[in-house]
Amino acid sequence: MGLNLVRGIAFLLVVAVSAPLLAKENLLAPSPRALAAADDEPPPHVDRTTVRKAPVRPVMAADEVPVYKKWWFWAVTAAVVGGTIAFGALTFTPVEPRPSACPTTSVTCFGDGRPQ
């Protein structure tokens, strides 16, 4: 049942995607009504006195400087990252290697150390 459902959905997707390609008219072309409504005249002159100007942004004070631009932020960040790396390096203990062969004094050998 699952395969038939997937095939049905795939078929519907193919039909939906290919339907505009099979249409006789170009869907991206402007309609005749839109072409008739468009004027060939240039836009009217814009009066510069009526245009609003963007408000001037005030300069930030020293207290409003973002945190990531302060020196102590980067000092604390370096200390935390360096401490984490140092802690990981100092507390790392390698895994003990597994034996690769059976000792010669043993009578039986089980596991990966079995002689070949």
With 0-12 / 13-18 / 19 or more C-beta atoms within 10 angstroms meaning exposed / middle / buried, residue 7 is exposed
Across the chain, mean pLDDT equals 75
CB of 98 closer than 8 Å to CB of 112: yes
106 vs 51: which has the higher pLDDT:
106
SS (H, E, C) 66-94: CHHHCHHHHHHHHHHHHHHHHHHHHHCCC
Q: Is the pLDDT of residue 65 over 80?
A: yes
Query: In sequence order, what are the residues at sequence separation of 6 or more whose Cβ sits closer than 8 angstroms to the Cβ of residue 46?
Result: none
CB of 99 closer than 8 Å to CB of 114: no
Structure tokens at 98: 């597994």
CB of 101 closer than 8 Å to CB of 115: yes
Q: pLDDT, tens digit, for every residue of 68-90?
A: 889 999 999 999 999 999 999 99
